[in-house]
Amino acid sequence: MIHDPERTQGGAILLDGNRLRDATVASIAARIEAAGSPKVCLATVLVGSDGPSGVYVRMKHRKATEAGMVSRGIEMPDTATQSEVESAVAALVADPDVHGILVQLPLPSHLDPEPVLAMLPPEKDVDGLTDRSLGRLVRGLPGHVPCTPLGVMRLIEAYGIDTVGRRAVVVGRSTLVGLPQVLLLGRRGVDATVTLAHSRSVDLVAVCREADIIVAAAGQARMITADHVKPGATVIDVGVSRVESGIVGDVDFEAVQSIAGAITPMPGGTGPMTIACLLDNTVAAAAMQGVSL
Ligand code: NDP
């Protein structure tokens, strides 16, 4: 729990993902060391030379190493075939020294991600994106939860944002972010009343203005303006868009920070928490596979 939050110029609590990620990395490192430094291994599969994916994977390795884990990176060229990618994943699935596997998406367009994801057993699926992991989430069974929406929940918990009986609006309905986010916010114990908004939603401003918590995961640069936000609401930005001036989120930070009660910076909010949760899921994966931690 973070008791001394930084505030924005307008007075909103800054939901600092870098700070919480660093605390998570340090606590994982301490846990692994206290257990006698058993090997906990995260493997990633990166196909092709898509710029942002390479950056994300390198950052995941760097933080895994800082957390005291072993990380193994499989890199394949743009020309890799479906069966080459599937063989690489099969080798990792069969390797008892590998506890978590992350296939970096998107794969190049000539490859079908579905059969590749379907190969991952639930215990090694540290991204939580396979049918079985998502099914477990829906049914409330133990399993790995997708890292980005889980990271949002960790920010909400760590900064003491009240959720019980509160109204939450999630903008975006992908299986990667929006849908699992709705499930997590509506879970027993979290108990928010959740609305799922998408591109066909009518009067998004009015829908969002009802919310105590807004999670914006649409991938539309700065679409959430001060008009969308009820004074004092918590606004969490998941979106990443590349515009001429650089990378921006779904939230118009400058305008919204003066009206919100709490807000994520962009960058430095949900991105680092996605990595923190990947590492947490990998530790849980190792424990599920018999590593004493
Ligand atoms: P998708 O493109 O799969 O989904 C976007 C969703 O947003 C869709 O459900 C779409 O609605 C909805 N949407 C699009 N435009 C609007 C609009 N104008 N109003 C309301 N809803 C809209 O994206 P992802 O879920 O994969 O990713 C969302 C964003 O999050 C992206 O910017 C991505 O880069 C970022 N991201 C960030 C991560 C992080 O760590 N911070 C991790 C993963 C993703 P419809 O279904 O009707 O088309």
What are the pLDDT digits (tens) for 22-55? 999 999 999 999 999 999 999 999 999 887 899 9
The total number of structural domains in the chain stands at 2
The rounded distance, in Å, linking the Cα atoms of 99 and 181 is 25
Same domain, 157 and 99: no
Same domain, 159 and 233: yes
Pocket residues: Cβ below 6 A from ligand 1: 148, 171-174, 176-178, 197-201, 204, 217-220, 223, 238-241, 270-271, 274
The rounded distance, in Å, linking the Cα atoms of 197 and 215 is 10
Q: pLDDT at position 245, please?
A: 87
The rounded distance, in Å, linking the Cα atoms of 21 and 177 is 19
**Does residue 1 sit within a domain?**
no
Mutational test site, ligand 1, from 53, 174, 275, max ligand atoms within 8 Å of CB: 174
Q: pLDDT at position 52, please?
A: 87
Q: Domain holding 123: CATH number?
A: 3.40.50.10860
Residues of the chain below pLDDT 50: none
Same domain, 93 and 54: yes
**Does residue 45 sit within a domain?**
yes
Q: pLDDT at position 20, please?
A: 98
| Cα 72–chain centre separation | 20
Ligand 1 atom closest to the Cα of residue 241 is 32
Distance 94 CA to ligand 1 centre (A): 34
The rounded distance, in Å, linking the Cα atoms of 15 and 46 is 30
Among 279, 273, 278, 233, which Cα is nearest to 256's? 233
The phi and psi torsions of 252 (rounded to 5 degrees) equal -80, 85
Same domain, 82 and 112: yes
Contacts 24+ apart (CB under 8 A), 75-79: 75/46, 75/47, 76/45, 76/46, 76/47, 76/48, 77/47, 77/48, 77/49, 78/47, 78/48, 78/49, 78/108
- Last residue of some domain: 127, 157, 191? 127
Same domain, 210 and 112: no
**Does residue 104 sit within a domain?**
yes
Distance 161 CA to ligand 1 centre (A): 23
Same domain, 215 and 265: yes
Provide the annotated active-site residues. Answer: 60, 104, 127
**Does residue 178 sit within a domain?**
yes
Q: Residue 258: give the domain boundaries.
A: 147-271
Same domain, 164 and 101: no
**Does residue 139 sit within a domain?**
no
Same domain, 156 and 62: no
Among 17, 124, 15, 24, which Cα is nearest to 66's? 24
